[in-house]
Amino acid sequence: MNELLEDLLSGELLRHVQNFTGALANSLEYKIRQETNTTRITFMFNSYGLSLNNGIPASRIPYNRGSGKSSSKYIDGLRKWVRERLGFSQARAERVAFAIANAQKKKGYPLTGKIGWVDITLEQNSSEIEKRVEAWAEATLNDVIVTFTQNLN
């Protein structure tokens, strides 16, 4: 089950995200919890993964061109990302950070729109995932019964 979900999610992410470093894919974790009438899968990954899946509308980008503010955590973060990721000088990283912020303020994030990498993966593979979860639940229940039976003796 573990490899299936990781492979499917990583593959879908790679289809949509350029300059893929693997950090988001490597952060993928999930937990399966059996409840009375349902089985619940909880996904966990780096926080920006949800933004990539759902997108952020332009109205929610925390940048206002020409605001006159002396500093911006948003611009600082973009500048740092540009320097670390692209290796640009401080001055060039600043110009690129403002260009990215202006583009995101117009189009949202990611610039191509919501990519839905988790949603697509689950939709396209729901029957296989259900089979694997059912097999996991059955094996887990069998282990519980065996353990319970052994403790009775």
- Domain check: are 72 and 49 in the same one? no
Q: Supply the pLDDT for residue 22.
A: 78
- Domain check: are 82 and 9 in the same one? no
- In angstroms, rounded to a whole number, what is the distance separating the alpha carbons of residues 84 and 92? 12
Q: Supply the pLDDT for residue 25.
A: 85
- Domain check: are 108 and 118 in the same one? no
Q: Supply the pLDDT for residue 136.
A: 82
- Domain check: are 28 and 43 in the same one? yes
Check: CB of residue 150 under 8 Å from CB of residue 143: no
- Domain check: are 48 and 92 in the same one? no
**From the CB of residue 82, how many other CB atoms can be counted at a distance below 10 Å?**
20
- Domain check: are 77 and 126 in the same one? no
Query: Domain range spanning residue 36?
Result: 1-55+114-153
Per-residue pLDDT of the chain (153 residues; tens, 9 = 90+): 667 888 888 888 888 776 567 788 888 888 888 788 887 888 889 988 999 899 999 999 999 888 878 788 999 999 998 998 889 999 999 999 999 999 999 999 988 888 899 999 999 999 998 888 888 888 888 888 898 888 886
Q: Supply the pLDDT for residue 17.
A: 74
Number of domains in the chain: 2
Q: pTM of the entire structure?
A: 0.69
- Domain check: are 108 and 119 in the same one? no
- Domain check: are 104 and 123 in the same one? no
